[in-house]
Homo-oligomer: A and B are copies of this chain.
């Protein structure tokens, strides 16, 4: 295990799904053996575009925590915490906002494209949302994170953070450290409908918490090949979500290759193919689902994990904030 620190997390706006599983959760379960890992449930960040729907954020904090624990993120190895419980992050955000110009804020391509997705014009974007990259810089620097796993589209977050770090250090003296992006190796998992992204809001997701029946129903609804009407028809592999998912989740690559050949040649029906995918996914999801149900029996224990993790995280952030205040010179009690 290295001494390096890794920070990652999710906005609690929904249960986690298979896209999260391949995109980040599996890797977190591995990374917790290599790094000191912090995983943040970013309720403040979720509120930046859900201010009118705080219940959603609130309720999903515990759902996300259940998902984390169910997949094997281990609180003995990973500090799982709730962003809002580490109030030091708010103060850091304020200091960093002074180091960023309005023009620079407006140039963040991640925020721009998210604004578009969410239907925000320049005008009606909540100010908190517009500046959430600065709040992320606070998250990353507060834990002195060396490494932050990101998708390609989130690279600007790291860039913005490191700009703030350099500016801060150049004005106030060496205090903060720059972070490195750890680019996700897996490509993004598309939705059941073949759309580019699996997401709750697009209603095309398989959740880690889905029951066996839901899993079956969703797989049966998956997009395959709209020209593949009869079993004997030749079928397309490319763009066929069942094969995309098999590529992503079936470790038996030889079997997948055989199925592709059969499907392409004709003679393999969608239902049979989907039943096969169901077996593959159900094998992966059953232990997660069971563990999740078990954890949900003692929800107070899950809260205890979160509060405990938040207390640990707070201790680290407090130290950073003290360094920051000393550097700026406004720790009056100390410096008078």
Residues on A close to B: CB < 8 A?
43-44, 47-49, 51-52, 54-55, 57-58, 61-62, 82, 84-85, 87-88, 90-91, 93-95, 97-105, 122-131, 134-135, 171-172, 299-300, 303, 306-307, 325, 328-330, 332-333, 335-336
CA distance A92 to B307 in the complex (A): 21
| A51-B87 contact given A127-B131, A330-B57, CB 8 Å threshold | no
Counting chain B CB atoms within 10 Å of each CB, the highest count among A44, A101, A102, A300 belongs to: A102
Nearest-CB residue, chain B, relative to A92: B90
| A97-B127 contact given A90-B91, A122-B103, A332-B303, CB 8 Å threshold | yes
9 further A-B contacts with Cβ under 8 Å, apart from A99-B128, A102-B122, A102-B130, are A47-B98, A51-B95, A52-B171, A54-B330, A97-B128, A98-B128, A102-B126, A105-B127, A307-B333
State the Cβ distance, A211 to closest chain B Cβ, in Å: 25
Collect the chain B residues with CB atoms within 8 Å of residue A328's CB: 47, 54, 58
Nearest-CB residue, chain B, relative to A327: B54
Nearest-CB residue, chain B, relative to A167: B51
Collect the chain B residues with CB atoms within 8 Å of residue A51's CB: 95, 98-99, 171
